[in-house]
Structure 1
């Protein structure tokens, strides 16, 4: 199979703009870059984003991890990744003014459209965040590109900042990752509200009594005649929907009891946030 050509040309930039890259909000937003556009460790998240109702284009593990935190936060109402710093001429002028070379395509020499990893709508504010491993902050070229980015957002009165791996709480992120794909659980409408409520009552009673999560879930599967694993998936669904609460700052282990388990909501919420 032929590899996709990733070289940048002026015609390609114009085509990307006409395609609507970097435009739209919420579910309709189109990232400037996708995992097919650049050589990366990129991966789409498992399932649709809770906040936007769309799949996100995340180009590294650290982007994915920061995305999980944003998606979990109730005060975040929109997440736009790979956001372009347009017009291109503006970042070129900034680079010239501060005396640094503007990023360009290594093969064609064409100036590239710079991007900010995340443009976030948080409460009533817009935040721009770049995420990078802390080791990269020692690279002078990286710092020079950050300065272009900082000036660009400062001129728009947008709060810009850098997030590194040391800023990311690993246990919380891994827990969000574990429940993330169960936010949209097909068993909820398939089983019906009566069965779901019975399962909630039975499972919550066992968890309140300190029973190990996996054992409690398997017992509910057997009592209700469900396929093995159904109750565990729904446990993750209830956590993802914040119907139930556990200590998210420590890794959730199915072989252990649910720490600080509580029921936050009595009603089943079927709608996705922002959907």
Structure 2
């Protein structure tokens, strides 16, 4: 059987451009790199985002964690990951001006398209962010690549910055990760308003009495004759849509009570419950 001819870097770039990679906004955006396009390190993630309503391709744990922060931010309206710095000729020119070597494909020894980890729309302005472990900033080669990236965005009057693991609040990220998938909860429509309201009332009453979250939701499932885990999933949904507001800097532990809850009612008015 004949081996498939290896695609040159230039052919790969042309193909991705034809596919519309790096174009579009919101749910229509296509990242330049999908997780299957890069060597697997076991840390890549495909996560459905509630801000854009599409699958996001995240290449590291740090990218995933920063993505959760962006999802939680109320002033973020678009998240474009793996954004290409095109045209390639521009980053080649910047590298030449700086007197540094442009990143190359080690297999073909041809220049590759650089990408910025996130192009983010905050209200009506775009900002670019690169994500890296803080120890990577000590490497000269990393800083050289960053300078190409910085100058690229500077020419477009777009703020560019670096986010490291030291900038990411661990407890907030882990809380968002815990309830993120329940943002879209099918049980809301299946159970109906009365049952959903009953879940909220019963679980909250139990939590006010100092019951742990796990026991409160299990009690609710039994009382309403629901499948095990239904009430807990609904509480995650309330947290994800910010109907239930808690101190996100404190790690949510189902084995402990959930306190200081503020519930936002259907009219959008806040009223404090719990202590």
Match of 1:243 in 2: 243
Aligned 8 A contact 1:213 1:254 in 2: yes
**Counterpart secondary structure, 1:226:** coil
Q: How far does the alpha carbon of each residue in 1:203-232 deviate from its partner, in whole angstroms, 9 at most, with x for none? A: 222223332111111111111100111101
Superposed, 1:195-214 pairs within 5 Å as: 195-214=195-214
Whole-angstrom distance in 1 between the partners of 2:186 and 2:231:
13
1:8-31 C-alpha deviation (Å, 9 max, x unpaired): 521110010010000000000000
Q: CA RMSD in A?
A: 1.6
- Which residue is 2:50 aligned to? 50
Name structure 2 gaps, 5 residues minimum. 269-275
Give aligned pairs, total.
263
More displaced 10-residue stretch of structure 1: 162-171 or 200-209:
200-209
Q: Residues of 2 paired with 1:12 and 1:213: CA distance?
A: 51
1:189 aligns with 2:181: no
- 1:136 maps to 2:136: yes
Match of 1:264 in 2: 264
Q: Is the 8 A contact 1:63 1:117 kept in 2?
A: yes
1:66 Cα deviation (Å)? 0.2
Q: Give me the TM-score of the superposition, normalised by structure 1.
A: 0.92
**Alpha-carbon distance in structure 2 between the residues aligned to 1:152 and 1:244:** 42
Rounded to whole Å, the distance in 2 between the matches of 1:133 and 1:5 is 36
- 1:247 CA drift (Å): 1.4
Distance across 2 between alignment mates of 1:62 and 1:95 = 27
- How far 1:201 sits from its partner (Å)? 1.6
TM-score of the pair, normalised by structure 2: 0.92
Contact 1:42 1:59 in 2 (8 A): yes
Write the mapping of 1:67-82 to structure 2, written as runs, cut at 5 A. Answer: 67-82=67-82
Q: Is the 8 A contact 2:208 2:259 kept in 1?
A: no
Shift in Å, 1:103: 0.6
Q: Is residue 2:92 matched to residue 1:89?
A: no
Q: Distance in 2 between matches of 1:123 and 1:6?
A: 43
Contact 1:207/1:261 (<8 A) preserved: no
Q: Deviations over 1:92-121 (max 9, x none)?
A: 000000100001100101110000000000
Equivalents in 1 of 2:211, 2:6: separation in Å?
53
For residues 140 and 8 of structure 1, what CA distance do their matches in structure 2 show? 28
C-alpha distance in structure 2 between counterparts of 1:260 and 1:248, whole Å? 11
Pairing 1:8-23 to 2, within 5 Å after superposition: 8-23=8-23
Q: Which residue of 1 aligns with 2:223?
A: 223
Q: Which has the higher strand share?
A: 2
Which gives a bigger RCO, structure 1 or 2 (Cα 8 Å, sep 6+)?
1
Deviation at 1:152, TM superposition (A): 0.3
The answer to whether the 8 Å contact 1:134/1:165 transfers is yes
Unaligned runs of 5+ in 1: 269-275
Describe the shift of the 1:8–1:128 C-alpha distance in structure 2 as closer, same or farther (beyond 3 A): farther
User: Cα distance, 1:259 vs. partner?
Assistant: 2.8
Name 1:32's counterpart in structure 2: 32
